[in-house]
Structure 1
Amino acid sequence: MEKLPMFQKLHHVCIVVRDIDKAVKYYESIGVGPWTDFPPLDAYELDGYDRDAFLKMRYKFANTDNAQLQLCQPGDGDTPQRRFLESRGEGVFHLGFSVESCDKAEEQAASVGLEVLARGRLDDRSGFTYFKTVNEGAGVTLEVRAPSTKATQGIKS
């Protein structure tokens, strides 16, 4: 099978945790950090998420030399991250790959039978898409993300 271009440029690894403050403290104790809060998530148009539950998630990120690490603490409500935490426990929820266009990546994914789990888009069509790969991909969801054309996102491209 040919390589899919959307899964070639690893951007980040996202770890779901029960207590984000405890996780940050641990990672900082072994030299990983500094950790930064994600910008507000309220600008995203969502599909596959309960909006209230989505907005209750807490995210932090730390940039390393070759990739970004993200921590996610799901809040109350139904999100893929909460379902993962409840069914599998803490661990790597997704691998995030950089793409120029999430919409194009979704078309490529559909051509090989991958289905969308959830997505979020900003008004410039940047954002993210999670694919339904957790059961087929050794317990890990694959994500694509396209950086915003606006300088307000603050997350390493």
Structure 2
Amino acid sequence: MNAPFRQVAVVVHDLEAAVRHWWQTLGVGPWTAYTLAPPRLRDCVYRGERVDFSLRHALAWSGEMQFELVQPLSGPSIFADHLERHGEGLQHLGRYVEDHPAEVVAYLEKGFTPLQSARGFGAEGDGAFAYFAPPGGSGPVVELISAPKVRIEPDFSYPEH
């Protein structure tokens, strides 16, 4: 649980419009966008239930901080929940971890509530993510991220390089 937070994520309705806005208005980018969906995305769990969900997301670095924009596509998800309850905005903070299964256990032992998880989004079938609500319900959603060794081909980059 000592890995630094390296990611700030915002849920959006329209990924392309959000990427353009963040680049043109805030100077954050370049962005690389991906679609994560079954069958590549495996072992999808939402609030304790096995479900299929899909999303599009774009990633960009600004210094040491990675920004993620997430657009839910299908199925139940914490992203769709956020849009319904709060509209677009800050949704979670992410930590990249070396031993994803061990970190998940550590978070559960500390009283974090599992919200959503999946694995297999890397080009070699690796990569995993898990989202948690903090104990007592106060504070942001936390994502534990096991980055894939090789990413899948992106849907698009903005601006194009």
Q: Is the shorter-chain TM-score for this pair beyond 0.5, marking a shared fold?
A: yes
What is the aligned residue count?
145
Query: 1:18 and 1:27 mapped to 2: Cα distance?
Result: 14
Q: Which runs of no fewer than 5 residues in structure 1 stay unpaired? A: none
Residues 131 and 71 of structure 1: CA distance in aligned 2, closer, same or farther (over 3 Å):
same
What SS does structure 2 have at the residue aligned with 1:21?
helix
TM-score (normalised: structure 2):
0.77
Q: Which runs of no fewer than 5 residues in structure 2 stay unpaired? A: 155-161
Query: Equivalent pairs: percent with the same residue?
Result: 26
* Cα RMSD for the two superposed structures: 2.5
1:89 aligns with 2:87: yes
**1:38 match:** 34
1:152 aligns with 2:151: yes
Query: 2:100 and 2:61 mapped to 1: Cα distance?
Result: 22
Query: 1:103 and 1:34 mapped to 2: Cα distance?
Result: 31
Asked whether the equivalents of residues 39 and 154 of structure 1 are also in contact (C-alpha less than 8 Å), the reply is no
Asked whether the equivalents of residues 6 and 65 of structure 2 are also in contact (C-alpha less than 8 Å), the reply is yes
Residues 41 and 33 of structure 1: CA distance in aligned 2, closer, same or farther (over 3 Å):
same
Asked whether the equivalents of residues 93 and 142 of structure 2 are also in contact (C-alpha less than 8 Å), the reply is yes
TM-score (normalised: structure 1):
0.79
Residues 81 and 125 of structure 1: CA distance in aligned 2, closer, same or farther (over 3 Å):
same
Query: 2:125 and 2:16 mapped to 1: Cα distance?
Result: 32
Out of 6, 15, 37, the residue aligned to residue 10 of structure 2 is 15
**1:112 match:** 110
Asked whether the equivalents of residues 95 and 143 of structure 2 are also in contact (C-alpha less than 8 Å), the reply is yes
Higher strand share: 2
Query: 1:121 and 1:74 mapped to 2: Cα distance?
Result: 17
**2:157 match:** none
**2:128 match:** 127
Residues 79 and 125 of structure 1: CA distance in aligned 2, closer, same or farther (over 3 Å):
same
